[in-house]
């Protein structure tokens, strides 16, 4: 999506919002939305984006960021301590229904419809995804002519580094064997979630492939090649606002849907990069910059 | 089924006792990391401890340094060394050596300090050289405390060597870290129990070793009635 398109989309959304703000007085002025976030930077940045976008439309927002993991914030959402949180589609489904097998974005969306608790709503899914992704160095990709995971099947004795669960989860080694026919993988478990130690192993050539979350700035910083996943082995993790039913007024939905329409994986990469890199930009600053950039505030 | 039963079933499963990811090979790996680390640490800490204890020099520095080493978080050191040297045995050996040096160093110089000054003076008075004083008087008398240092170093290392699994190595920590990652509680608990049992067995061996290291005393003078 080009910038111009995004800006157009953004201003269209803003216009709709302004119009609806004029016409729709049913939302009382005392409407307050409590925005929560999981305890990691990217989620906090998206939560800030939601919060500031809502504030810009005159909605009162309280922030309870950095709550913890899903086990902590989903109950908080259900009992009304928070009203809104940025979620990731695949992991949310996996939490709500541990037996779910859906991996494609639309399958997950459908499955979530059934699995979601009564009182909660999902708004529009954004294109932005933060999910496991298999990466190789640019050099290795070129040498072996790699663009997707399927191309790995031609290589012998592939060495792969990932979090320990990758060795047994369906999207991990078993899936690579079953879905893509890649066998004889030599697996190294590194428990840093695709962090610096995993990156070092890849750059040193100790391993050929590394599982790194798709919005990790090191992918860009080191010119890594993220292999495509044509068979949807790795579940989609689209960023989506999860909101309490009673707070999801038309106005709120419009604001958040406009945000989701504009948010991309590249945006998250850039935001995380500014947050983790030398700039160490605060989530609130990043959110403001992004919203301005997209013409949403 | 309770976690106790599940863990028991985990231990009983035949696949736990064979192959490269079975308990026996993980146990051997674990003992390997422990042995390597304690050996490297002893080579560094014991000579320094002997010198400090014998000469009484730089004692303050030894105390401060071993205190500082104790304060270093093992996982932090481990990750840092991985970033410097890459994967392999080096990071875990360095990280655990940092952990093992303080008790070894302290045990050694404290052991030498605890030797009765009068005994050392007597040895010198008999015409022993400094080397003879060290090897024939001080070390034998300090041996129980030196072995004590070795015992506490080994126990700390054997319990902490589980972090090797954090950076792609094996050992009993593999069960704990994989168990956590896969939310497989029986595996995690089973791995923890294996580490505890190993630590207790090693500790018992050291108790025997410490007894053997204690110099036999001269026959007791019969107490007066």
Sign of dihedral through CA atoms A210, A215, A218, A224? positive
CB contact under 8 A, B86 and A188: no
Question: pTM of the entire structure?
Answer: 0.79
Q: Is the pLDDT of residue B225 over 60?
A: no
* Residue A21 and residue A251 in contact, taking contact as beta carbons nearer than 8 Å: yes
Chain-chain contact of A165 with B168 (C-beta, under 8 angstroms)? no
> And the tokens for B117?
């000054």
Range of the structural domain that residue B109 is part of: 21-171
Task: Mention every residue, 6+ apart, whose C-beta is less than 8 A from residue B15.
Answer: B22
Task: Tell if the CB–CB gap between B177 and A188 is shorter than 8 Å.
Answer: no
Instruction: Find out whether A198 and A212 touch, Cβ atoms under 8 Å.
Output: yes
Q: Report the pLDDT value the prediction gives residue A29, as an integer from 0 to 100.
A: 44
* Residues A190 and A163 sit within 8 Å (Cβ to Cβ): yes
* B168, B174, B178: residue with CB nearest A190: B168
A6 CB neighbour count, 10 Å cutoff: 19
> What integer pLDDT is reported at residue B183 of this predicted model?
83
A191 CB neighbours in chain B (<8 A) are 165-167, 177, 181
User: Is the CB of residue B182 less than 8 Å away from at least one CB of chain A?
Assistant: yes
Domains in chain B, number: 1
Position A21 scores a pLDDT of 45
**Beta strands A209-213; A159-162: pairing state:** parallel
Check residues A45 and A101 and name the one with the higher pLDDT.
A45
B181: contact with A, CB 8 A cutoff: yes
Chain-centre distance of CA B7, in angstroms?
Answer: 28
Is position B187 within any domain?
Answer: no
What is the average per-residue pLDDT within A271-284?
93
Answer yes or no: is B95 within a domain.
Answer: yes
CA distance linking residue A150 with residue A228, whole number of Å:
8
pLDDT of A239: 97
pLDDT at A25: 42
Read off the pLDDT of residues A71-125 as tens digits, 9 standing for 90 and up.
899 999 999 999 999 999 999 999 999 888 899 999 999 999 999 999 999 999 9
Find the DSSP H helices in chain B.
Answer: 3-12, 23-55, 59-71, 74-85, 89-113, 117-125, 130-132, 139-160, 173-181, 185-213
Interaxial angle between packed helices B173-181 and B185-213, expressed in degrees from 0 to 180 and rounded to the nearest 10: 160
Chain B CA closest to residue A203: B86
Contact B86 A163 (CB under 8 A): no
Full DSSP string of A90-138: HHHHHHH-TT----SHHHHHHHHHHHS-TTEEE-PPPS-B--EEEEE-H
pLDDT tens-digit profile of B125-182?
999 999 999 999 999 999 999 999 999 999 999 999 999 999 989 999 999 999 988 8
Note the pLDDT of residue A6: 53
Q: Do B181 and A163 touch (CB under 8 A)?
A: yes
Structural domain contains residue B194: no
B166 close to A (CB below 8 A)? yes
| pLDDT at residue A85, as a whole number | 97
For A23, list phi and psi in degrees, rounded to 5. Answer: -80, -30
Is pLDDT larger for residue B116 or for residue B222? B116
Task: ipTM value, please give it.
Answer: 0.80
Q: Is residue B193 part of a domain?
A: no
Q: Quick check: B96 and B160 in contact, CB under 8 A? A: yes
The string of pLDDT tens digits covering residues A140-167 is: 999 999 999 999 999 999 999 999 999 9
Phi, psi dihedrals of residue B214, rounded to the nearest 5°: -75, 125
Residue A190 near chain B (CB below 8 Å): yes
pLDDT of B131: 94
CA dist., res. A108 & res. A98, Å (int): 13
Q: In this structure, what CATH number is given to the domain that contains residue B69? A: 1.10.3720.10
Q: How confident is the model at residue B54 (pLDDT cuts 50, 70, 90)?
A: very high
pLDDT at residue A169 is higher than 50: yes
The reply to whether B81 falls in a domain is yes
pLDDT tens profile B185-215: 999 999 999 999 999 999 999 999 999 988 7
Give the N- to C-terminal CA distance of chain B in Å, as an integer: 65
> Could you tell me if residue B83 is inside a domain?
yes
Question: What's chain B's average pLDDT?
Answer: 92
Could you tell me if residue B146 is inside a domain? yes
Residue of B29, B74, B75, B167 to mutate for A, most A C-beta atoms under 10 A: B167
Q: Would an 8 Å CB–CB cutoff place B86 in contact with chain A? A: yes
| B93 Cβ contact list (under 8 Å, min separation 6) | B33, B36, B37, B40
**What rounded mean pLDDT belongs to chain A?**
90
Do the domain assignments include residue B153? yes
Residue pair B62/B113 in contact by the 8 Å Cβ criterion: no
More confident residue, B147 or A3: B147
Rounded Cα–Cα distance for residues B10 and B4 (Å):
10
Q: How far is C-alpha A215 from the geometric centre of its chain's CA atoms?
A: 8
Rounded Cα gap, residues A64 and B163, in angstroms: 34
Alpha carbons A278 and B57: distance in angstroms, whole number = 45
Residue B81: HSE in the Cβ half-sphere, 13 Å Cα cutoff = 22
Residues in chain B with CB shorter than 8 Å from the CB of A161 are 168
d(CA B126, CA B218): 20
Bridge partners of A85, per DSSP, are: A242
What is the model's pLDDT at position A27? 45
pLDDT of residue B1: 74
Average pLDDT of span A1-12: 53
Determine, for residues A169 and B83 on separate chains, whether the beta-carbon distance falls below 8 Å: no
Residue A248 CA to residue A241 CA, distance in Å, equals: 10
Residues of chain A with Cβ-Cβ distance to B168 below 8 Å are 161, 188-190, 201
Q: Which of residues 129-188 of A touch B (CB under 8 A)?
A: 161, 163-165, 167-169, 188
Give the per-residue pLDDT at A22: 46
Interface residue B87 vs chain A (CB under 8 A): yes
């Amino acid at each position: 999506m080009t910038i111009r398109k995004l800006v157009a989309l953004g201003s269209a959304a803003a216009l709709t919002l302004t119009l609806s703000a004029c016409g729709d007085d049913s939302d009382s002025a005392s409407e307050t939305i409590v925005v929560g976030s999981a305890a990691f930077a990217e989620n906090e940045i998206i939560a800030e984006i939601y919060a500031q976008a809502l504030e810009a439309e005159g909605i009162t927002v309280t922030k309870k960021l950095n709550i913890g993991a899903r086990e902590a914030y989903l109950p908080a959402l259900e009992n009304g301590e928070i009203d809104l949180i940025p979620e990731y589609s695949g992991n949310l489904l996996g939490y709500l229904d541990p037996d779910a097998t859906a991996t494609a974005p639309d399958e997950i969306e459908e499955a979530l419809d059934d699995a979601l608790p009564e009182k909660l709503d999902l708004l529009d899914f954004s294109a932005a995804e933060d999910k496991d992704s298999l990466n190789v160095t640019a050099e290795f990709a070129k040498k072996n002519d790699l663009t997707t995971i399927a191309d790995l099947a031609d290589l012998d004795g592939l060495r792969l580094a990932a979090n320990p669960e990758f060795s047994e989860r369906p999207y991990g080694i078993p899936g690579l064997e079953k879905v893509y026919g890649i066998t004889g993988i030599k697996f190294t478990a590194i428990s840093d979630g695709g962090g610096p130690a995993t990156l070092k192993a890849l750059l040193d050539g100790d391993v050929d492939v590394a599982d790194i979350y798709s919005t990790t700035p090191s992918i860009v910083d080191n010119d890594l090649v993220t292999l495509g996943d044509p068979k949807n082995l790795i579940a989609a993790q689209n960023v989506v606002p999860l909101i309490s039913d009673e707070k999801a007024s038309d106005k709120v939905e419009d604001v958040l849907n406009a945000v989701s329409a504009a948010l991309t994986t590249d945006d998250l990469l850039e935001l995380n990069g500014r947050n983790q890199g030398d700039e160490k930009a605060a989530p609130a600053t990043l959110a403001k910059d992004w919203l301005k950039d997209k013409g949403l505030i | 089924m309770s976690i106790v039963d599940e863990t028991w079933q985990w231990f009983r499963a035949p696949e736990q006792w064979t192959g490269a990811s079975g308990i026996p090979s993980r146990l051997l790996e674990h003992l390997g990391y422990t042995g390597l680390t304690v050996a490297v640490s002893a080579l560094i800490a014991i000579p320094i401890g002997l010198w400090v204890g014998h000469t009484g020099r730089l004692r303050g520095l030894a105390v401060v340094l071993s205190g500082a080493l104790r304060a270093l978080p093992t996982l932090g050191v481990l990750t840092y060394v991985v970033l410097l040297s890459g994967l392999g045995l080096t990071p875990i050996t360095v990280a655990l050596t940092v952990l093992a040096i303080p008790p070894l160093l302290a045990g050694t110089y404290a052991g030498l300090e605890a030797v009765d000054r009068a005994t050392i003076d007597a040895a010198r008075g008999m015409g022993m050289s400094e080397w003879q004083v060290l090897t024939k008087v001080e070390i034998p008398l300090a041996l129980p405390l030196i072995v004590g240092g070795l015992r506490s170093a080994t126990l700390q290392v054997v319990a902490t060597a589980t972090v090797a699994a954090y950076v792609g190595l094996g050992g009993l920590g593999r069960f704990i870290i994989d168990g956590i990652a896969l939310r497989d509680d029986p595996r995690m608990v089973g791995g923890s129990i294996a580490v505890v049992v190993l630590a207790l067995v090693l500790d018992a061996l050291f108790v025997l070793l410490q007894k053997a290291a204690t110099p036999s005393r001269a026959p007791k003078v019969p107490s007066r009635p």
